[in-house]
Every structure is written in C-alpha cells, then in structure tokens.
Amino acid sequence: MKIKKIVIFGVAIVLLGVFLPRIISGSGVRGYHGEEEVFARFAMKQTELALGGSLEPLLIPGMYVASIKQLSPESTSCAYEPFLVEHKYEATVRLVSWFGIPYGKIEIDCEGASSVERF
C-alpha cells in the first residue's frame, strides 16, 4: 500500500513538472495579430525544428514567444511566406524547463536563422 502511494506521488510530481510550464507560459502567439501573429507561429515552428534531433526537447516542455520586433519600417518581403508577411521581423522565444524554470532563449529572424542562449 505504501509503495502504491509513493508511485502515485512520484507520477504526480513528474506530470506537474511537465505540464506546469505549458499551462503557465502558453505559446504567446495569441497576443499578436496580423503579420506578427503569422511570424509568431513561424518562430514557434522554427524553435521546435532548431531543438529537434536531440534529447533537449525532453528538458523543455514549455516555450513561448516573448517579443517580436519589426526590423524595417518599409515594406520588404520576408523570406518566410512573402505573400503573408511583408516586413522583416525578429522574434525572441523563451524556453522553459521542468516546473517552470527558465532554460534559455532563441532569436529567430525572417530567414529562419536562430541563435540559442541557454541560461
């Protein structure tokens, strides 16, 4: 009986550690509209691709778009979906590890290039 309670408690802690960052941070995409929302979705997908191919995504159950800045005020085509995004943008995606602990950030630009900074 004691072992069963310990196992249930352990599973509950693991589930809390995995799902808490997703619940707290969300994706951050809903805070943007128009071109910025399209670019926010692109930044989230590029972040998933940048982290893929390793075991690192197991440490990062949550991520959200923290900021988007327009790089040029003139109408210049972004390499990503030029028919949807007419300006050049750069997004910062924050990475959150288990239990909501900050893990790092990734900067994504229009061409999909990224720079990763781990805390």
Which range of residues forms the domain containing residue 102? Answer: 2-118
When pLDDT is cut at 50, 70 and 90, the band that residue 67 belongs to is very high
Q: What is the pLDDT of residue 107?
A: 94
pLDDT in tens, 74-110: 767 666 555 567 778 899 999 998 888 899 999 998 8
Q: Is the pTM of this model over 0.75?
A: yes
DSSP calls for 42-108: HHHHHHHHHHTTSSGGGG--EEEEEEEEES-SS----SS-TTT--S-EEEEEEEE-GGG-EEEEEEE
pLDDT in tens, 1-46: 788 889 999 888 888 887 877 777 677 888 888 888 888 888 898 8
Residues in the chain: 119
Amino acid letter, residue 93 = V
Residue partners of 28: CB distance under 8 A and separation at least 6: 40, 64, 65, 66
What is the total count of domains within the chain?
A: 1
Q: What is the pLDDT of residue 29?
A: 85
Give, as one character, the DSSP assignment of residue 113.
-
What values do phi and psi take at 82, rounded to 5?
Answer: -60, -20
What values do phi and psi take at 114, rounded to 5?
Answer: -140, 155
The pair of three-digit structure tokens given for residue 107, joined into one six-digit string = 């900067």
